Structures are given as C-alpha cells and as structure tokens.
Structure 1
C-alpha cells in the first residue's frame, strides 16, 4: 500500500505538471471502487482549472477554480499517472481526466480499494474521511510534547500507536519500523513507557526517515510507481523492513520478524533494546 512518502512524491510531481491546466473531458469506466462514486462527477470537473494540490495523510486533494476539491485515496494498489493523448487504456484504468494541454490524468486500481470524492473546497477538512485524523508527521505540530501527550495513556505497543491515524497520519508499516530502528526502540514497548528523551528521538527519527524517503521518490513495493510510471527508490536503503534473517547494518545481529495486529514487523533485537521474549 502506498504510504505518506509515496503520496507526497505524487503530490509534488502533479503540482509541477498539471497546476494551471484545464479539465476538458472526463471518462469513468465503472461506478464503484471501494465506495460508490458521486453521480455525474463530470459536471464538477469539466471546464474547471486545477489551481492547487495538497496532501492530508494519504489523501491527495486537487483544488479546482470552481470551489470544489477532487480527493483521491490510492487504497491498496491504486496509481495515478500522467499520460499523453495517444495513450492506450489499460484493463484497470477506471477514471481518465483529459486536460487542455493534451495530458491525461489516469487512475488505475486493480484491487479497487481506492476512493475518489468530490467536495466543496471550504468543507474539505470536515469530510468524514479527514476530520478525525491526527497530526501530520512533517509539520511543526508533531513534536515531542504532542506525541508524549498522545502516548501517555496508551498501553499498546509503540509500533501500533505510530500506525494509528488518530495519533499521527501516514507513517504506515514500513516507515514505523524504520523509524523505531533509527530511534533504537523495540516495536513491542508499551507506548506509555517511553521517556521524554525517547519520544524526542522517535519524533526526530520519523521526520528524518520520511524526508529521506520523499527525497528518494518513495518506496518500491509491489504496485507502487510514481506518477511518471517510474518506481520509487527508497527500498534499497531500508534498514530492517523486509530483511528478515539478514545481518543488521549496525551490530550484525539477524533481523527478526514478528506479527503485530496481523502486520509484519521487522526489527533488530540487539539494537532495539531487548528481544521479543523480554517484553512479553
């Protein structure tokens, strides 16, 4: 599943290539993805000009000059790519937006877990899919005091807390594992046992890991490719994720894998303060 770094990479690329372009046509090849699509979506889009693109968590918001916002969520396998006029539609291309420049914005989603919404621009933050979200990890509001307060009453494992979108958005499985490794914190640690110093280090690690991933173009995993069709390049720099049985780059101990709430967690039991059995 594309995570924050992938969506941020997508946002930056789209902003560079389609802001100021006018929507001239719209093609919808199915009426439902994860949820039913808004009826007559074309009427909100055609003749509107794209004036801004933002990201909130893993949602991509495309602002139009008619005071509406088109919001995408890529789900498990969704992709948004920019294609030229001679592009031949593929099997899972569900929504195609034609632009005055001749470019096409194509949404492809093989598993159909993606979501597409339209809403008035002054009501975007009030939409049900956005209004309960926690802090953005790369913003100033996500700091030691904020995270410490959120974790104070949480007994759940810190890895799970970092993946709770009501606490912090978009960190996801990969970057949570990588951030905990950088901070030398075991993913099984109860959240409310972290010290202020550890939380400070963790916040810093999350920001560094995400910024590095964005700079590298996101993480190459399964279905994710950038808007230009090229894969991300961060996977080759991962320290623990997907490296089960391989030696830790720091201490040489074998990377271990456990399951937390059905998700795979990779960590170094030597660098990250104790083995699994010590924390159970």
Structure 2
C-alpha cells in the first residue's frame, strides 16, 4: 500500500484525487490515507454515567435506587452499576447500553412521561446529588463485552492518549491489552473508546476475584517481561491514566 510520502513524491496524490470521484477504489484509497482508525460499523454504544452523591445521603440514595431501579431497566439495558471503593468517595458509576442514538432518544422521551419513575425516584433522587457526568463510548472493534460468571471486584482504567486517534496509538495499545489478557493476571470485561467526552480516551474494564487478587496479579505483571515490554511501547503515546476500584451494587447485572 502506498504511503502519503510516496504519493507526494511521485505526484500520485493529485491524480488519485482527480480520479476518486470516478473510481470507487481510488476514493477508498484516498479515505484510507486520512483515516484515524477502523470505522465504527456497529451503532450500539454505551453511556457511562458517574454520580457524586452528598456524603450524608449515600445510604438513602442506595436504598431508593435499589427499590426503584426496575422502573428504569424496563426501558433500556443496564450493563452494570458500581460504587467507587478507591478513586473517588461517595460516587457511583453505571453503564447503559443503547442500540443507536435514536433508541436513546426514544428511551429518554418515555422516561419523561413515566409518572411512577418521576415521582417515586427521579424527583427524590436529584436533591441527593452533588454532580453527575456522562460519556458515550463504543466497544473497540476488536473487543466483545464479557460478563463475568462469578462475583468479584472491577477496575476501570481510563487512558488519555496523545491526539491522532487509533491510527497513532491503537496498535501499541491493543498489544498491551492483549498481553495482559494472555498472561491471565486479570480478566478483561471490555475496552471502550470515547466518542463524546474526552477524545483519544479509552476505558478498560477489568474483573478480579477480589482486591487482593488484583494486587497480586498486578505485582506479577510488573515482573513479567512480556507485560513490561508491551506497556513500555504503549506508554509512548500516553498522556495520563486513572484507575478506579469498583464494587458492584446489589442490583447490578454484573456482580
């Protein structure tokens, strides 16, 4: 495949552009030159929501949500709902799945008309919050969502990469994740690329039996040459990283 440099050096760039509208193959080649990553074909996306609850209201919030979450899940799929054990106090993190943006809009419209949901939950819940945030993310094309079969703890690792998209850092990052998976020190749940939120950000959700097994696996990984080499290569593109330890709530589908 020709590179941009070879196109410029040989004068093929202009000729390819001129013929692109007549030749579908030439048009595809032009698009590939400027692509930042694999095209997202699946319209399914995941909404990440983070709630910051007033410290004195945390117990009341959990009780209210446990008693009424069924009214919300009647409208769309809840993937998981967690409290933050480390990485932030009095916070809750939950993931919702949608088939498309039209699907989400339809769900939001129905919720706005659901008097039970509004009166029994939403109007009571909102005064308990200090803040709420959301992001839209897609599963990366090379990953499928894995739901653990047994209860455990979860770790959400958020990577902020240098600008440029997966075309710049995607290969090295995938290699680092694959190395962690193949060594078996932890279990992968899903890898998500942010669409709305901070760009060039990837969230990786891991599962471990408990916090101690996670710590043990991390120590072994730090001493594994395969992991060290893969992480060192990926870190060349990294700007920041944040780790959260999550505990599934009583009503979370992922335990």
- Give TM-score, length-normalised by structure 1: 0.26
Bigger CA radius of gyration: 2
Name whichever structure is richer in helix by fraction: 2
